[in-house]
Amino acid sequence: MADLYLALLHHPVYDKTGRVVTTAVTNLDVHDMARVSRTFGVRAFYVCTPVDTLRRLVARILRHWERGPGATYNATRREALALVRLAPELDAAIAEIEGETGQLPRLVATSARGGPGRRSFGALRARLEAPGPPELLVFGTGWGLADEVMERVDDVLEPILGVGPYNHLSVRAAAAIVLDRLRNGR
């Protein structure tokens, strides 16, 4: 079984006008994606932001649930948040994963947009079930991952399709569906 990691990038991502920006960290993204990670056997979930203050803020929230008043208030939240790691950028997460596993992770970007050569959920699921290098699933905030990320990844996962043309899920919902599909088949 290959190790699975998750990363949520707050930079470089697009805003609605197509400009590359840094988004703010959303508290519920951290909680929801940590719970999804714990549920579906993700080894660690990287919250990546270049903004020191925001990393410190998230670190404080994590401390609250790990050792502060939250630790006894809600154990399932503590268990989930124990998977969260902070990184200034994608490369820092990659380096840490390489240090931990001894191998560079394969980078798999997610996108709401289709395109040529998208990797199917079935193909990635099969890869995860076989021995191999760690896989790092990369999610973007805002209006999605900037081209500079899309161009350097090894794979782009196929988009989640609904019943019509509308495909504007929150990143929290998209991450839940992607992990469920990768672990529970389809």
CB of 76 to a second copy, least distance (A): 4
Confirm if 80 and 40 have CB atoms less than 8 A apart. Answer: no
CB of 139 to a second copy, least distance (A): 13
CB of 92 to a second copy, least distance (A): 26
Confirm if 41 and 171 have CB atoms less than 8 A apart. Answer: no
Residues in contact with a second copy by the rule CB under 8 A: 16, 28, 31-32, 35-36, 38-41, 74, 76-77, 79-80, 160-164, 166-170, 172-177, 180-181, 183-186
Report how far residue 97's alpha carbon sits from residue 136's, in angstroms, rounded to the nearest whole number: 9
Report how far residue 69's alpha carbon sits from residue 126's, in angstroms, rounded to the nearest whole number: 41
Residue 38 or 50 having the CB closest to a second copy: 38
Residue 16 or 151 having the CB closest to a second copy: 16
Residue 55 or 181 having the CB closest to a second copy: 181
Which residues does 23 contact at the CB level (< 8 Å), separation at least 6?
Answer: 10, 11, 13, 15, 141, 142
